Structure 1
Amino acid sequence: MDLRKLEPAGLKRIREKDVGPRDIRWLVQVDVERAALEERWGATEIAHDDFAKWFCFAFSPAEGEAFILLLQVDHPVAGFVLSVTKGLFSPEAAERIVQALDIPGARITRTNSEATP
């Protein structure tokens, strides 16, 4: 995917259930407030897995690509976990995703070491 096309207008909210857990990997931690995401992108979804209950926002910026922002409901930490599909698994894509979210002050605080060159 051409990262230059990652713009707010190109992001499409999708259902969390449409993002297969086997298709995504943790990429970065994003310091962003849930309230700011909800104001810009609408209400969170609640997802459940074997480990926890999660607030989540899922997006598809292009055919075949997706990313999801997750925050544990019962034990929230600072920021959301950003997990992405294979085509978005890079620090450059993470930066573009955070920009495309269009939330003032949102920033990456931690990056998966497997994604760094």
Structure 2
Amino acid sequence: MRRVEATSFRGSPQQYVAQIRVTTEEVEDRWGPSELTQDDLGEWFTFVFALNGGILAALVRELDNAPAPGYILTAIGGVNLNQVLEDFLAECSLDSERVLHRATE
């Protein structure tokens, strides 16, 4: 897994994968500063990754009004959401107990 620029995270569909319990400090300590992106809902802390299998995944958190703790994991394309989550957790060595909610629940 490698970090890529947020501008690489384009395409559709963009799919919700999971809610992950991590803090901004944890993510920045590991992968460097967030990029700020913006959409119709507001500004977002954004970390984009190319997983080893080629899937693009992003950790995002609303900057000002985050409705829940942690970060949202999203992916681009018609991908297997469970596989994306498993790959992401394995490639960044996060424990599955960090998953607060899965798209498939």
What is the TM-score when the length of structure 1 is the normalising length?
0.75
Specify the alignment match of 2:89 in structure 1: 98
Specify the alignment match of 1:107 in structure 2: 98
**Runs of at least 4 residues of structure 1 off by over 4 A?**
103-106
Letter in 2 for 1:18: S
Letter in 1 for 2:51: P
User: What is the percent sequence identity of the aligned residues?
Assistant: 21
Measure, in 2, the Cα distance between the counterparts of 1:106 and 1:97.
13
Equivalent position to 2:64, from 38, 52, 74: 74
- Kindly tell me the number of residue pairs found equivalent between the two proteins: 104
For structure 1, list consecutive stretches of 5 or more residues without a partner in the other structure: 1-10
Secondary structure of 2:33's partner? coil
Residue 45 (structure 1) aligned with residue 35 (structure 2): yes
Q: Offset of 1:63 from its aligned partner?
A: 6.3
Specify the alignment match of 1:25 in structure 2: 15
Aligned-residue CA RMSD (Å): 2.3
What is the TM-score when the length of structure 2 is the normalising length?
0.83
Deviations along 1:32-70, one digit per CA (max 9) or x if unpaired, are: 111011001100000001111000100002464210000
Determine which structure has the larger helix proportion and give its number: 1
For structure 2, list consecutive stretches of 5 or more residues without a partner in the other structure: none
